[in-house]
Amino acid sequence: MLPATLKLQHPLTQWRPPSLRRFRWLWQTTLTVAMVMGFSLGLYADVQSLGFTLGKTDYKTVTQQAPSLKDGGINKYSNGKMLKGMSKQFKIQGLKDTLFIFDKQEKLAVIMMTFNKHQFDTVFGYLKSKYALQSKRIPFVGSKRAVFKKEDVKIKMNAPHLSFDMDVMYLTDKFDRDYKRIQRLEQRQKNKREQSQF
């Protein structure tokens, strides 16, 4: 029979309970991974407004859920249909008007809402709690602007100084790029026309 000291030194008999430090490290690592995964899931979640999802909800769905909206023609930036007006389902205090713009595949590309200007701070707070703030200009007196971002959607707030209204616009990055491209093209054409007069 082996001495007791040799038995204690055998690899199978040398188990020791994990140290508190190791437990703490494992717990912190697990918690960090869980937080990162949770943040990622939230970051890549769909962007919704008024119950509709940017880039996914189609024209037919909006007309079915908000039948009082009226035809707004074809948008020159997206070449898609537009709907405008108000609906009873849009239960937001101070909301005065809405505009929905679709792309050529009839997917929702823009939601623009018009509010009373005095609600800027309230709406800004709502958006800041949900989306990443990219830029802001909020003077005590003057025009106020803010831009938020989530995945491939921007949310822009614009409250002109001499207006009683403000606009909140949800738009896809693709629509934003098309809008800026056409604006630049129109500006160049305008400059050429003016130049030809001299």
Which residues of the chain are under the pLDDT cut of 70? 1-45
121: enclosing H helix or E strand: helix 120-128
Into how many domains does the chain fold?
Answer: 2
Structure tokens given for 49: 């407004």
DSSP letter at 45? S
**88 plus 167 within the same structural domain:** yes
**75 plus 35 within the same structural domain:** no
**90 plus 131 within the same structural domain:** yes
pTM score, whole prediction: 0.73
**112 plus 133 within the same structural domain:** yes
**25 plus 113 within the same structural domain:** no
**127 plus 66 within the same structural domain:** yes
Cα 3 to Cα 7: distance, rounded to the nearest angstrom: 7
**162 plus 123 within the same structural domain:** yes
pLDDT of residue 46: 87
- Please state the separation of Cα 172 from the chain's center in Å: 9
**166 plus 190 within the same structural domain:** yes
pLDDT digits (tens, 9 = 90+) for 78-134: 999 999 998 877 888 889 999 999 999 999 999 999 999 999 999 999 999 999 999
Amino acid occupying residue 77:
Y
Structure tokens given for 23: 């437990």
- Distances in Å between the Cα of 91 and the Cα atoms of 10, 50, 80, 138 are 73, 9, 26, 27
**23 plus 72 within the same structural domain:** no
Amino acid occupying residue 151:
E
Full domain range(s) for residue 114: 48-195
23: enclosing H helix or E strand: helix 20-43
**Is 195 in contact with 130 (CB distance < 8 Å)?**
no
CATH at 129? 3.40.1000
**10 plus 56 within the same structural domain:** no
**36 plus 77 within the same structural domain:** no
**What string of DSSP letters covers 70-91?**
EEEEE-TTT--EEEEE--TT--
**120 plus 187 within the same structural domain:** yes
